[in-house]
Structure 1
Amino acid sequence: MATLTTPRTNTGHTGLVLGYSSAHPFSTIPLSDRTSVQDLLKALLDPLEPFFSPLKARIRCPGATAVRFDQTASEVEGICRPLWGLACLLAGGGEYRGTQWWIDGIRAGTDPEGPEFWGFPRDNDQRMVEMCPLGFALAVAPTIWEGLSERERENVERWLGNSINEKEMPNTNWLWFRVFANLGLKKRGAKFSQARLDADIEHLNTFYRGDGWSNDGPEGIHQMDYYSSSFAIHFLQLLYAKLAGDEDPERAAEFRKRAQIAALDLAHYYDEEGRSIPFGRSVGYRFAMVSFWGALAYADVELPAPLTWGMVKGIVLRHLRWWQTQHDIWSPSGTLTIGYSYPNMYMSENYNSPGSPYWACLAFICLAVPETHPFWTSPEEDHWTVIPRIKALKHPKHIMSNLGGHCMLLSSGQACSYPMKGTHAKYGSFAYSSAYGYSVPPGLFTLEQYALASQLGFSDDGGEFWKTRRVSKSTLEERPVTGPVLISHWEPFPDVHVTTYLLPPREETPNWHIRVHRISAGREVLTADGSFAISNERALDGRYLDPYNPATYEGTKPRLMGNYDPPTDEAVAPAREGAFAVSLKAGAVGIKALPDEKPGSEERRAVMVNADPNSNLVAARTTIPTLQGVIKKGETVWYVAGIYAKPKGPKEQALDGWDKLPEVPAWLKEEIAKDST
């Protein structure tokens, strides 16, 4: 195995250094039981040691990136977010050599007269977020409170309770953070506000939409991503049910009931390899995406049939094992980076500090579950043996599928409550895949920078600037024979009206889903309709993919051109022949116009878009098979395409389904024919 060096720093600490061929200890631990997951957490926490401040109140993780809040708050994130993992470890009876670091840090950080005081929060302050893991830690790990003097406990009371209860907070999942600040103090017999705690929970209940699902915000916002499940709402509801259930049995029972119902939906977001489907914001929290499942066990939820504890354990451990294979997520010093499968600032939000990724420690809630619980004693099982391969989810307006080698969701209607960076890609794309992730724009000039994976883009200036779906009105409908369909209405420009139909794969064509657009153009526009993005590195030497070679089972068709190369005939194909890319690393993706397409005066053409590097979450270099077209002013067209995806498998089978086209359902053919006449 590769060797690791641990030089001594000028603070006297030792730190991990990952070299050219080094492996992070996190990746070397065979996961099978509770002890191995404890070791996994310790491998995550150890590299933080050199980055503590002298009094331990702050952690300055590598990476001098700025966020929308101040540097002190960024470093408070650095120390508080790992508390999720440490507190779970201690709550389950585990031990960690660095526990005293956090006790010392809490002491120094809450001392208003000390040099490393965290500062009292202002309205809507990021410090409020970090009060949540601190409150949880106080609630479940008494050793932290016991390590403080009476005066130091009063400082914690003042910083954690009084300050947050007097300030304004965003009308979102943040309200749960104030609940846990108060709950932690309550558990330790300290001063807290029961009235504020109750009022916040009652307001948070207004976010509930039914069938187990809560929205991340009030009416007028449709945002149901991982914050609705593992990052915040469901996760914290379950922790509350466990910690406050004896005093508040009615709410605890309701929260457990919601989780029971939601579990049968949320199981569809995790594939057999352990990958989750990246969707929405904050996916840089990585393995936090699986924390809901450990929280079910922690809160003593009775699982809904047909799920078993072996299946829940399998979801969690397979997910952690998959992250163990993602060797590029670490900084050279062994800390988590901002990004997904590799460091990537383009996909980050303006609140992602270098310490932000440690919200991933939510995944270790399973360590607070007793070793005698069936979560730990059951053998791992595969939940896909008992749940349907296609399911429509009413509230998030997702159609989930697990056919053709990956989990995928089709989505319409969701949007972030504010226009964050890349919001159109994080919520407005048509499809999201556990194998291919999603792509965000690293720039805003030309198609290569927009990286329109699973998006339809419009340009009215010759291709310099592009607009895609961000906000839409949508319906989820059930049609006879074909099943669920998502229909959305949206306008990239005030005089360009689009209706998009999304249909999931079917058993007979498992590697295809169907995307149909009816477009009425009040101005002339260029269009670009992208498939999934795929790794643009050939297996032999990592260079860009060549034209497809049947002998090596790798390459693109038509030819992939460099971003600044003049176009050639080899780089363009008729839309009905389509475009595809095959990578021995990642499988095959493609897009092809189906026979039912009704273009205007110009047919679409198939091309390969050489996306700018670092646009995709999963692969740093990608290409996107794309159909490009022109719609003249006053024209109405029907673009009808099949999108092909077959993740990595036997190389000779990558294109087995490419020539077996999906069938457009009769009801949609009738709509197209009627409208075209």
Structure 2
Amino acid sequence: MIYDPSRANPLSGNPLKTRDDLAKAVIDLFKPLLPYFSEGGARVRLGAAGAIFDRAAADLEGFARPLWGIVPLAAGGGHFPHWDLYRQGLANGTNPAHPEYWGDLADRNQRLVELAAVGFALALVPEHIWEPLADNEKKTVSAYLVAARNLEFIDNNWKFFRVLIDLGLERVGVAFDHGKTVTYLDEAEAFDLGEGWYRDGPVRRVDHYIPFAMHFYGLIYAVLARGDEARKQRFRDRAQIFARDIRHWFGPDGAALAFGRSQTYRFAAGGFWGALAFAGLEALPWAEIKGYYMRHIRWWSALPIADRDGILSIGYGYPNLLMSESYNSPGSPYWALKFFLPLALPHDHPFWAAEEAPQPEFSEPVALKPAGMVVMHTPGNVVVLSSGQQHDKMRGANEKYSKFAYSTRYAFNIEADDRNFAAASFDGMLGLSDDGVHFRMRETLEEALIAGDRLYSRWRPWQDVSIETWLIPANPWHIRIHRITTPRALSTIEGGFAIERADFNADRSEQAEGRAVCNGQTDVSAIVDLSSRPRAGHTISAIPNTNLIHAKTLLPQLRGELGPGTTVLVTLAMALPSRENWAEALANPPASPDIDELERHFRENGVRVPAFDLEL
């Protein structure tokens, strides 16, 4: 029997058009987990891969994360037939005398993350998971949760986990110190960047944790918390503003922007749209919100995102440990079920009653100032230029945060071997090497500015090498200008967008001085050099399994050598679906900007990117 990738996805075959379709999706996603529940119901072990935390915490993750979808399903009147299993697991997992005990709690421990889902369940459906428990079981569960909420949580979106635990305890009548709740809420609000954006802690970056964590939990609080009306209104007001920006992180086909860490949470990225519905917040017309929401889950339904038995894999468009984080256990992907929050709403809610509206057209670039990003809507795709993001403390951080361009259609590659310069893809990046073997890319920044729809950054791949980069939208192209000052010779490789390879190696490529073009399975990717001394065009098949969406990709590159001194490189890059008029775009590239004019523009109009504007 030929392997059918559509079978490696519990969502496959579901039209995902209605509320009932989504209710079915929750059950279909949950069913493959049943064989992996332990005898006592408290542990769910889905694989042998490890994470930075212990196995008991990983097993708790497998138990708790499905609740993000199960709880809204039940709250909205849907039938979930396994509450007895969850009650048994909750009682046993919190009981130190039981062999399936989840383990002792500690500051900044993974268990604090997963217990937020338990708090959410107590707050929304206590009749299913709390009230049927025996009195001694309630004492055991509440003691474990109170002990957890009294500990220290990481200084980022984790602060909301204490808040969610507290919402659950309050709903079931367990006493605790509310002062700690207020403290964490105040500290979480201090991450506000303005214009609806937050930081995810004291860091120089914004990513999907802003919509699917900071706003998501804030809107849940706005619905479930008693009192605190002024704060709840602030959460609603910020989400209202933010919706107008975050819609530009979604393509016309429903794909979210592949950017930042924790990509294995997949359709959690669409949870923000569901949270707006849950909060009754019509930040955009309901039809538009529903369009973004439903297109997103349908996009995921067509990808092989699960293992053969239907368990969601660590990966993105397919199983792939290379792009995972150190904190991803086999149960981690089930945070994706946060997407299903609006199932808590009745059938006749305006969100469910609305007809889906398509994504509006945006003909001009859109600046997302707090994030240091400029967005271009191109045919079938959204391209995001970025200057102002950095993360230097995780694997693949350069690729996840510091590329020049990100895309909803083409995703990005992660380099598989930093000691193989010639085989690196450098999609959306400039790679440099001083020995022809090892290489550096943009990592951390010294400066990040935005001026209208133009971006600037200054960075150092080595301490004695300085690079200034300007990014300019020129739809469907974008322009990159690099002014490089180096005391020694360097080799350079700069990449365009990575596209899916064609079957049977039927790709067509063009390589010439100053230009390279790739024709792949369904798309065309091009890169052009406008430098005074053009680099050599080159096409490369990337190492397999390095792209987030496609297991096999190819991309165009420019390769060259730099001597000591100052050199200016000017690059054009674009990618379009093959069905579009890419040949016309290729025949009419934009002209090279005047660098003196660019510098004047930034002197007069440039402001520091708010996400970057933080002393570390």
Query: How does the TM-score come out when normalised to structure 1?
Result: 0.85
1:225 is matched with which residue: 198, 207, 210? 207
Q: In structure 2, what residue type is equivalent to 1:275?
A: A
- For residue 310 of structure 2, what is the aligned residue in structure 1? 334
2:229 is matched with which residue: 246, 249, 252? 249
Cα distance between partner residues in 2 of 1:670 and 1:396: 21
Q: In structure 1, what residue type is equivalent to 2:221?
A: Y
Cα distance between partner residues in 2 of 1:176 and 1:647: 41
Query: Taking structure 1 as reference, are residues 23 and 467 closer, same or farther at Cα in structure 2, changes over 3 Å only?
Result: closer
Secondary structure of the structure 2 residue equivalent to 1:529: strand
Following superposition, the deviation at residue 659 of structure 1 comes to: 1.4
1:320 is matched with which residue: 273, 294, 297? 297
Query: Taking structure 1 as reference, are residues 667 and 443 closer, same or farther at Cα in structure 2, changes over 3 Å only?
Result: closer
Secondary structure of the structure 1 residue equivalent to 2:453: strand
2:509 is matched with which residue: 523, 544, 556? 556
Q: In structure 1, what residue type is equivalent to 2:105?
A: P
Following superposition, the deviation at residue 67 of structure 1 comes to: 0.8
- For residue 345 of structure 2, what is the aligned residue in structure 1? 369
- List aligned pairs for 1:306-455, cutoff 5 A: 307-326=284-303, 328-385=304-361, 389-416=364-391, 418-447=392-421, 450-455=424-429
Following superposition, the deviation at residue 477 of structure 1 comes to: 3.4
CA contact (8 A) 2:273 2:293 kept: yes
Q: Do residues 235 (structure 1) and 216 (structure 2) align? A: yes
CA contact (8 A) 2:513 2:535 kept: yes
Following superposition, the deviation at residue 448 of structure 1 comes to: 5.4
Following superposition, the deviation at residue 544 of structure 1 comes to: 2.9
Cα distance between partner residues in 1 of 2:233 and 2:211: 17
CA contact (8 A) 2:288 2:359 kept: yes
CA contact (8 A) 2:421 2:433 kept: no
Q: In structure 1, what residue type is equivalent to 2:457?
A: S
CA contact (8 A) 1:213 1:258 kept: yes
Secondary structure of the structure 2 residue equivalent to 1:657: helix
Following superposition, the deviation at residue 412 of structure 1 comes to: 1.0
Cα distance between partner residues in 2 of 1:249 and 1:670: 47
Greater RCO (CA < 8 Å, at least 6 residues apart): 2
- For residue 477 of structure 1, what is the aligned residue in structure 2? 450
- For residue 480 of structure 2, what is the aligned residue in structure 1? 515
Query: Taking structure 1 as reference, are residues 381 and 154 closer, same or farther at Cα in structure 2, changes over 3 Å only?
Result: same
Cα distance between partner residues in 1 of 2:71 and 2:106: 27
Following superposition, the deviation at residue 164 of structure 1 comes to: 3.4
1:589 is matched with which residue: 498, 502, 525? 525
Secondary structure of the structure 2 residue equivalent to 1:376: helix
Structure 2: stretches of 5+ with no match in the other structure: 601-616
Q: In structure 2, what residue type is equivalent to 1:655?
A: A
Cα distance between partner residues in 2 of 1:58 and 1:649: 49
Structure 1: stretches of 5+ with no match in the other structure: 4-17, 547-554, 559-572, 673-677
Query: Taking structure 1 as reference, are residues 20 and 489 closer, same or farther at Cα in structure 2, changes over 3 Å only?
Result: closer
- List aligned pairs for 1:515-534, cutoff 5 A: 515-534=480-499
- For residue 194 of structure 1, what is the aligned residue in structure 2? 178
1:639 is matched with which residue: 569, 573, 595? 569
- List aligned pairs for 1:600-611, cutoff 5 A: 603-611=534-542
Following superposition, the deviation at residue 235 of structure 1 comes to: 0.5
Following superposition, the deviation at residue 21 of structure 1 comes to: 7.7
RMSD: 1.9
Following superposition, the deviation at residue 404 of structure 1 comes to: 3.3
- For residue 284 of structure 1, what is the aligned residue in structure 2? 264
Following superposition, the deviation at residue 669 of structure 1 comes to: 6.3
Q: In structure 1, what residue type is equivalent to 2:458?
A: H
CA contact (8 A) 2:500 2:521 kept: no
Secondary structure of the structure 2 residue equivalent to 1:642: strand
Following superposition, the deviation at residue 98 of structure 1 comes to: 2.2
CA deviation vs aligned residue, 1:259-314 (integer Å, no higher than 9, x gap): 001010011111111111111000110000010111011112242xxx21011011
CA deviation vs aligned residue, 1:468-511 (integer Å, no higher than 9, x gap): 00111444433xxxx51000000001111100011113xxxx32
CA deviation vs aligned residue, 1:241-268 (integer Å, no higher than 9, x gap): 0001x41111111100000010100111
Query: Taking structure 1 as reference, are residues 450 and 148 closer, same or farther at Cα in structure 2, changes over 3 Å only?
Result: farther
Following superposition, the deviation at residue 598 of structure 1 comes to: 3.1
CA contact (8 A) 1:298 1:368 kept: yes
CA contact (8 A) 1:529 1:628 kept: yes
Query: Taking structure 1 as reference, are residues 286 and 25 closer, same or farther at Cα in structure 2, changes over 3 Å only?
Result: closer
Q: In structure 2, what residue type is equivalent to 1:315?
A: Y
- For residue 243 of structure 2, what is the aligned residue in structure 1? 263
Following superposition, the deviation at residue 317 of structure 1 comes to: 0.6
Q: In structure 1, what residue type is equivalent to 2:464?
A: D
Cα distance between partner residues in 1 of 2:461 and 2:94: 49
Percent of aligned positions that are identical: 38
Cα distance between partner residues in 2 of 1:516 and 1:666: 10
Query: Taking structure 1 as reference, are residues 21 and 399 closer, same or farther at Cα in structure 2, changes over 3 Å only?
Result: closer
Query: Taking structure 1 as reference, are residues 19 and 534 closer, same or farther at Cα in structure 2, changes over 3 Å only?
Result: closer
Q: Do residues 544 (structure 1) and 505 (structure 2) align? A: yes
Secondary structure of the structure 2 residue equivalent to 1:111: coil
- For residue 434 of structure 2, what is the aligned residue in structure 1? 460
Following superposition, the deviation at residue 369 of structure 1 comes to: 2.1
- List aligned pairs for 1:15-164, cutoff 5 A: 22=7, 24-61=9-46, 63-142=47-126, 143-164=128-149
CA contact (8 A) 1:81 1:359 kept: yes
Following superposition, the deviation at residue 153 of structure 1 comes to: 1.1
Secondary structure of the structure 1 residue equivalent to 2:360: helix
Following superposition, the deviation at residue 545 of structure 1 comes to: 4.2
Cα distance between partner residues in 1 of 2:25 and 2:334: 14
Q: In structure 2, what residue type is equivalent to 1:591?
A: I
Secondary structure of the structure 1 residue equivalent to 2:491: strand
- For residue 6 of structure 1, what is the aligned residue in structure 2? none
Cα distance between partner residues in 2 of 1:89 and 1:351: 28
CA contact (8 A) 1:77 1:130 kept: yes
Query: Taking structure 1 as reference, are residues 449 and 190 closer, same or farther at Cα in structure 2, changes over 3 Å only?
Result: farther
CA contact (8 A) 2:8 2:306 kept: no
CA contact (8 A) 2:525 2:575 kept: yes
Secondary structure of the structure 1 residue equivalent to 2:327: coil
Query: Taking structure 1 as reference, are residues 182 and 658 closer, same or farther at Cα in structure 2, changes over 3 Å only?
Result: same
CA deviation vs aligned residue, 1:156-177 (integer Å, no higher than 9, x gap): 1111122331x22221111111
Following superposition, the deviation at residue 610 of structure 1 comes to: 2.5
Secondary structure of the structure 1 residue equivalent to 2:585: coil
1:664 is matched with which residue: 592, 604, 613? 592
Following superposition, the deviation at residue 446 of structure 1 comes to: 1.2
Cα distance between partner residues in 2 of 1:75 and 1:117: 10
CA deviation vs aligned residue, 1:323-358 (integer Å, no higher than 9, x gap): 0111x2110110100000001111100001100000
Query: Taking structure 1 as reference, are residues 648 and 130 closer, same or farther at Cα in structure 2, changes over 3 Å only?
Result: farther
Cα distance between partner residues in 1 of 2:110 and 2:84: 25
Cα distance between partner residues in 1 of 2:423 and 2:240: 42
Query: Taking structure 1 as reference, are residues 448 and 137 closer, same or farther at Cα in structure 2, changes over 3 Å only?
Result: farther
- For residue 500 of structure 1, what is the aligned residue in structure 2? 469
Cα distance between partner residues in 2 of 1:467 and 1:301: 45
CA contact (8 A) 2:262 2:324 kept: yes
Cα distance between partner residues in 1 of 2:448 and 2:598: 19
CA contact (8 A) 1:121 1:164 kept: no
